[in-house]
């Protein structure tokens, strides 16, 4: 009988041993308090949520006007929705954002080293439409911010925008077919349509480490980097740290990017680690201008589709991206299974396929761990930096400066063996009973996930018949295609609720934005004022979400805790990956495409005001 091992050839590891190690490492990290291990940014830490880049002198008169569309959130989701609605001929489009400009995550995250780790040619939206060329294969944060501004300028999204403004409430008025929107600047505006593009990871969180409030040194969260203290900018040059002992808590995707800079500039850097990241080769480079000029019209959509197909396990005839992401997926997903099927002369059954992928994952992660031995000189440090979980339990990282930073004499890795920091004192951080004195403590501890949608959005929404979104979604989101929810007419959600996610997030946002613009244009052109999902369409979509969620669930159950699996509590159904469409992005985009090509608006109810 053919075994999974026969399918992938020789293996030089013991899968049983590795599996046991993975489960052991996961068990060490599961904390009974789950998400409650984190504390809110309030009281002493209230300033962590403030905008360090804001113009504090800004003021404006309250607005009492009417616009066609209000878009809450001016990140890529809001910008793409705005751009596509502008293309569809909508006139008054108002972006509202608490930030002082567009950019969303790239507005807030300006920490040293911030950059995207998906290739800029597919990550930066609308490159072709705007005739823009990224300077590097992987763009640094300032270029991404500038591109966000370019989109806003090109689609005239600054015209009606309200920045440094937070929505405080929204009420649907059935009689006028309009939303009333209030803000913290005293605005009381109305809009025919509302788009919620508030982002999945927008509220910074802090670890509930005993004594966290007692620390007397300087502190900040990575998403609000305090350059007035560190000196320098997003490119580094943190001269303010030359006589400072700095501690950083967290070793996720953000920490991997900023630690090399902290290491270079701090008098001494202590890295407090609970779970190591998987860090692979990045290999950034300047854009090859001739290659870029040679790209044929329609290239960006083709490249995005190719990447998304590859990273979803489809066997594409060519790999247009050819980087770490596509390499991982080509090795781990259905492509490998297809190769094995060819060799075997039959299709693999699901169990064989799952076993084979598990073995390939072990092999890949052995490579990641082996790379650490080749770079990190101190054997103990190298051992501590090794991730013991499957590749997609956490977001894989790609960086060429992270591992070498641990060879510096001024850098100490303080591993907590999965337990996390024990205590914070007025002068430092305690791990295994040892206090590490620091002048500055940087929290690279991520963002809230799994909390209620309206809590993260920062306001509640009162829909038809006075029903509140927080109530309606108290047991989880309910939508049709992730875009509309019964009881909330003329409201759309752009983001990651009951849709398909993909590594290249702007691609998913672009597909949703295009779909939304199609719907609103149809509603308008057919002479209607109001659109709402039918109860049946919403119910059927819940069934589809439940049906397709099963595969992902068993994978995440075995994973090390993190925000993907709601800190190891998959059964709660509230992690980042929970409630997504499990059929993957390729099927999801095709499904939306098919829906549009019916020429009708199946599942949507249209009406005119006053009828």
Name the residues that contact ligand NDP, by CB under 6 A. Answer: 29, 116-117, 201, 207, 209, 249-255, 257, 272, 274-275, 395, 416, 420-421, 444-446, 562-563
Closest to ligand NDP by CB, 76 or 163: 76
Closest to ligand NDP by CB, 94 or 274: 274
Closest to ligand NDP by CB, 421 or 517: 421
Whole-Å CA distances, 533 to 233, 259, 428, 444, 457? 47, 47, 54, 40, 22
Q: How far is the CB of 237 from ligand NDP (least distance, A)?
A: 20
As a three-state string, the secondary structure of 340-405 is: HHHHHCCCCCHHHHHHHHHHHHHHHHHHHHHHHHHHCCCHHHHHHCCCCCCHHHCCCEECCCHHHH
**Do the Cβ atoms of 37 and 210 come closer than 8 Å?**
no
Q: How far is the CB of 427 from ligand NDP (least distance, A)?
A: 18
Q: How far is the CB of 109 from ligand NDP (least distance, A)?
A: 7
Closest to ligand NDP by CB, 120 or 479: 120
Q: Measuring CA to CA, which residue among 30, 9, 22 is closest to residue 420?
A: 30
Q: How far is the CB of 412 from ligand NDP (least distance, A)?
A: 15
Q: For 177-297, list the strands marked E by DSSP.
A: 178-183, 188-196, 206-207, 218-221, 245-249, 268-273, 279-280
Residues 6+ apart with CB under 8 A from 533: 479, 480, 484, 485, 486, 603, 604, 605
Closest to ligand NDP by CB, 445 or 512: 445
Closest to ligand NDP by CB, 15 or 142: 142
Q: How far is the CB of 291 from ligand NDP (least distance, A)?
A: 23
Closest to ligand NDP by CB, 33 or 543: 33
Closest to ligand NDP by CB, 489 or 495: 495
Q: How far apart are CA 179 and CA 327, in angstroms?
A: 47
**Do the Cβ atoms of 400 and 417 come closer than 8 Å?**
no
Count H helices, E strands: the chain? Answer: 22, 21
Q: How far apart are CA 336 and CA 276, in angstroms?
A: 27
Q: How far is the CB of 202 from ligand NDP (least distance, A)?
A: 11
Q: How far is the CB of 590 from ligand NDP (least distance, A)?
A: 25
Phi/psi at 82 (5° precision):
-60, -45
Q: How far is the CB of 605 from ligand NDP (least distance, A)?
A: 36
């Amino acid at each position: 009988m053919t075994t999974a091992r026969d399918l992938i050839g020789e293996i030089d590891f013991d899968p049983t041993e590795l599996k046991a190690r993975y489960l052991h490492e996961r068990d060490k990290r599961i904390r009974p308090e789950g998400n409650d291990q984190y504390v809110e940014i309030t009281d002493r830490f209230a300033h962590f949520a403030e905008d360090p880049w804001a113009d504090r002198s800004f003021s404006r008169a309250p607005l009492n006007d009417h616009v066609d569309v209000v878009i809450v959130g001016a990140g890529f989701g809001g910008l793409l929705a705005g751009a596509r609605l502008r293309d569809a001929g909508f006139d008054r489009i108002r972006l509202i954002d608490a930030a002082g400009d567009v950019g969303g995550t790239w507005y807030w995250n300006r920490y040293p080293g911030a950059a995207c780790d998906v290739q800029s040619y597919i990550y930066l939206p609308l490159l072709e439409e705007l005739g823009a060329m990224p300077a590097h294969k992987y763009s640094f944060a300032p270029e991404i911010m500038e591109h966000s501004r370019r989109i806003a300028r090109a689609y005239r999204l600054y015209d009606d925008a309200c920045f440094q403004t937070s929505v405080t409430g929204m009420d649907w008025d059935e009689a006028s077919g309009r939303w009333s929107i209030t803000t913290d600047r005293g605005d009381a505006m109305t809009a025919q349509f509302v788009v919620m593009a508030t982002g999945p990871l927008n509220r910074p969180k802090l670890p509930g480490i005993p004594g966290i409030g007692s620390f007397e040194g300087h502190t900040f969260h990575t998403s609000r980097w305090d350059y007035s203290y560190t000196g320098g900018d997003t490119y580094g040059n943190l001269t303010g740290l030359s006589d400072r002992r700095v501690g950083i808590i967290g070793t996720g995707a953000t920490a991997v990017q900023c630690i090399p800079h902290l290491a270079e500039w701090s008098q001494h850097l202590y890295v407090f680690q609970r779970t190591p990241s998987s860090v692979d080769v990045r290999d950034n480079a300047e854009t090859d201008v001739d290659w870029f000029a040679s790209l044929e019209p329609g290239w960006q959509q083709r490249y995005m589709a190719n990447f998304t197909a590859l990273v979803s396990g489809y066997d594409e005839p060519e790999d247009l991206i050819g980087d770490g992401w596509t390499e991982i997926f080509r090795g781990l997903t259905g492509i490998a299974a297809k190769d094995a099927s060819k060799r075997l002369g039959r299709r693999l059954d699901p169990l064989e396929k799952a076993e084979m992928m598990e073995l390939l994952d072990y092999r890949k992660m052995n490579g990641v761990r082996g790379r650490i031995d080749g770079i990190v000189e101190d054997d103990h440090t190298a051992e501590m930096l090794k991730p013991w979980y499957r590749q997609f339990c956490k977001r894989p990282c790609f960086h060429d400066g992270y591992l070498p930073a641990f060879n510096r004499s001024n850098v100490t890795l303080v591993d907590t063996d999965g337990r996390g920091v024990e205590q914070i004192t007025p002068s430092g951080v305690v791990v295994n009973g040892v206090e590490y004195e620091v002048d500055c403590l940087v929290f690279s501890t991520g963002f809230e996930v799994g909390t209620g949608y309206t809590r993260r959005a920062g306001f509640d929404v009162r829909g038809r018949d006075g029903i509140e979104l927080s109530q309606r979604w108290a047991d989880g989101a309910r939508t049709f295609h992730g875009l509309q929810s019964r009881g909330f007419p003329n409201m759309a959600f752009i983001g990651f609720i009951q849709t398909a996610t993909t590594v290249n997030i702007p691609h998913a946002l672009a597909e949703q934005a295009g779909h939304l613009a199609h719907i609103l244009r149809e509603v308008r052109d057919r002479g209607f004022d109001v659109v709402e999902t039918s109860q049946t369409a919403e119910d059927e979509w819940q069934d589809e979400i439940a049906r397709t969620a099963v595969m992902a669930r068993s994978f995440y159950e075995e994973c090390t805790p993190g925000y993907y699996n709601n800190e190891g509590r998959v059964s709660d159904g509230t992690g980042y990956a929970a409630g997504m469409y499990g059929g993957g992005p390729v099927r999801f985009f095709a499904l939306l495409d098919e829906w549009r090509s019916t020429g009708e608006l199946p599942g949507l109810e249209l009406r005119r005001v006053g009828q």
